[in-house]
Amino acid sequence: MGEGIRGIETIEAEAEKILESATRRANEILLKGKEEASQILSSDMPMDGVKAECQQILRKAKEEAERKDEDSRKKASQIRIDADNKVGTIAERMASIITGARSR
């Protein structure tokens, strides 16, 4: 049973790493968008065009960050579901062993 728990803990740790990585990447994308917007604002372009481009860059960066974050949350959720299913299977096997029933 100890191995099953360690396996589940490993899976949960992996899910957390995926989520942390996605969050970190989302923040990097947003930071890059803000930096690009700042560069555009500091250039000698007409301000109306600059503001529109700045807003577009920030919108795209935010959309990409949100999409990556959602994808990572889905992956982490699936890993947790898989871990729960494995726990159920292990529990059923253990119950069969304890009660003397044969596994199918």
Residue-level pLDDT, tens digit, the chain, 104 residues: 567 677 778 888 888 888 888 888 888 888 888 888 888 777 766 677 778 888 888 888 889 888 888 888 888 888 888 888 888 888 888 888 888 865 44
H or E element at residue 46 = none
Tally of domains in the chain: 1
Domain-embedded: residue 51: yes
Domain-embedded: residue 101: no
H or E element at residue 39 = helix 2-42
Rounded distance between C-alpha atoms, residue 95 and residue 20, angstroms? 36
Domain-embedded: residue 22: yes
Residue 21's domain comprises 2-95
Model-level pTM?
0.47
Domain-embedded: residue 100: no
